[in-house]
Structure formats: C-alpha cells, structure tokens
C-alpha cells in the first residue's frame, strides 16, 4: 500500500477549500476522470463536514487525510481525534430527499465502493476508510 | 464565494460565484430565505458556480419547501459541471425546476 498524500488541517470550515484542492490534485494524479474527481472531492468534503459538525461539534480539533494507492483501488483515510462514534452513525437512514439531514452520508455511499469505520488507534478518535476503484488505465 | 441579488418583475435572481460549502452556505441561506419570506419567487443562477456541497443543497431544499408552501417557485439556471453532478446524484434535478438559460423565463 503506497501513500500518495498526507495532510493535516484544523477542523475548521475555512480549511475545507484547501482540503478539496489537495483531493482534486491527488485524484488527477491517480488518473480519475473529471467526473470522478468532482464526486470524490465532494465525498471527502462531506466527510470532513461531518467531522467538524458532529465529531467535534464545532470545537477545535484536527483532521488528518491520507490517500493510498493499493492494487486497483484508492484508499482514503480520514482521521479525527474526537470522542469515538458508534458505527450506527454510518447507517443510511434518509428516505425523503426533501427532509433535512443525511444528504452528505447518502452522497458518500453513492460515490464510494466501500465505506467503513476502522477501530481507533487510541482511546479517542475515529478513522473513516473509503475506497474507490481506480480507472483501468492507472491501475498498478 | 460571492453573490449578487437583482430584482425582476416576477422573481428575484441570486447569482452565485465560486464555491458553496459549510463555511459560506449560511450566507446563501440568509439571502434565499430572505427572498421567499418576503413573498418573492427566486431563480438561483449557477452559471458561475464551480462547487456546491450538501449544506448548500440543503439550503436549496429548505428554500424550495418554504417557497412551495407560499405558492412561490425556486428555479435553478445554468447548472453545469460539479454542481450539476451533485443535483443529478441526489436526484434533486427531478424535484427542482432547472433551466439552461434565463431566456426560458417569461417576464
């Protein structure tokens, strides 16, 4: 598993733009189409938004984003250092588009091939793992 | 992100430029709700919008629901690229009225 990107940012909404730029750049390097780059960027943004809103509840904190290439997949790890969340937080509940809440999670599941919470490395924190198949031409 | 609001005979136009995310969607929400709460239909111009996340989309949904209750309308014009992809991904392109150009609006 080869790490392509490691970035660490404050869990602050003003940082989202910079995180998106890094994701776009890395996805371009990995050979994704413009459509996939847009969607993957949206997914990472939604995941960071959820960390800021729900894991840290607006309190100061850090977000670490790592992107790996492994066989025919790109693997995205988003780590926070907030209180551990329950796996049920990742359950998709939204049924009506016109009701508030849950849209970000719906987008994450629709775009990515695999979504899971990894066991935390210490007593606090969460690692969200997301996987997306690489385009055929760029698989190594 | 910047926006420009202009009054027309039958609607108000809110033109968004740049990227809408959690950092600035509260500003967009304030503008949109202000328009429909004052009894005006709204057209949101996406022509110069390069990105919108779910917080921006949620703002549109909230505005749409209020507008509908007041028998007003919310229309999106000129969506392309990433913003159009988000609308299609969430199937909201089938809920909202979406047009390519302001030429399609009468009045």
Q: Is the pLDDT of residue A5 over 60?
A: yes
Give the per-residue pLDDT at A124.
86
CA distances from B20 to A17, A77, A136 (A): 10, 24, 32
* Cα-to-chain-centroid distance, residue A41: 9
Task: Report the percent of chain A where pLDDT is more than 90.
Answer: 77
Band of pLDDT at residue A88, cut at 50, 70 and 90: confident
What's the structural domain count of chain B? 1
Determine the structural domain holding residue B11 and report its residue range: 2-104
Tell me the CATH number at B58: 3.30.750.24
Assembly ipTM: 0.93
Q: How high does pLDDT run on average in chain A?
A: 92
Domains of chain A: 2-138 (3.30.565.10)
For B5-44, write each residue's pLDDT tens digit.
999 988 999 999 999 999 999 999 999 999 999 999 999 9
Asked whether residue B107 carries a pLDDT value surpassing 70, the answer given is no
Q: What is the pLDDT of residues B83-98, one digit of tens each?
A: 999 999 999 999 999 9
pTM over cut 0.80: yes
Cα angle A74-A79-A83, degrees, rounded to a multiple of 5: 150
Report which of B19, B98, B24 is spatially closest to residue B64, judged by C-alpha positions: B98
A45 close contact with B: CB closer than 8 A: yes
Pairwise CA distance, residues A37 & B54, whole Å: 17
Q: Which of A14, A17, A101 sits opposite B19 (nearest CB)?
A: A17
Spell out which chain B residues touch chain A, with contact meaning CB-CB distance below 8 angstroms.
19, 21-23, 51, 53-55, 57-58, 61-62, 64-65, 81-82, 85-86, 89-92, 95
Q: Note the pLDDT of residue A17.
A: 97
- Give the gap in angstroms from C-alpha A42 to the nearest C-alpha of chain B: 7
């Amino acid at each position: 598993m080869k790490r392509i990107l490691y970035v660490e940012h404050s869990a602050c909404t003003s940082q989202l733009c910079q995180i998106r730029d890094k994701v776009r750049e890395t996805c371009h390097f990995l050979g994704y189409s413009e459509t996939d780059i847009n969607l993957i960027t949206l997914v990472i943004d939604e995941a960071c938004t959820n960390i800021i809103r729900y894991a840290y509840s607006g309190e100061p904190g850090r977000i670490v984003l790592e992107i790996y290439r492994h066989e025919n997949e790109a693997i995205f790890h988003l780590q926070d250092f907030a209180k551990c969340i329950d796996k049920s937080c990742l359950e998709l509940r939204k049924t009506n588009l016109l009701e508030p809440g849950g849209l970000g999670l719906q987008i994450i599941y629709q775009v990515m091939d695999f979504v899971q919470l990894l066991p935390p490395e210490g007593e606090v924190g969460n690692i969200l793992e997301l996987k997306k198949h690489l385009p055929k031409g760029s698989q190594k | 992100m910047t926006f420009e609001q202009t009054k027309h005979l039958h609607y108000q136009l809110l033109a968004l430029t740049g990227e809408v995310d959690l950092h600035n969607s509260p500003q967009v929400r304030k503008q949109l709700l202000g328009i429909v709460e004052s009894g005006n239909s709204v057209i949101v111009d996406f022509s110069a919008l390069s990105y919108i996340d779910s917080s921006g989309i949620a703002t549109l949904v909230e505005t749409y629901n209020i507008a509908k209750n007041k028998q007003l309308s919310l229309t999106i014009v000129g969506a392309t690229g990433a913003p159009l992809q988000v609308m299609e991904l969430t199937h909201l392109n089938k809920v909202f009225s979406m047009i390519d150009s302001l030429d399609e609006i009468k009045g």
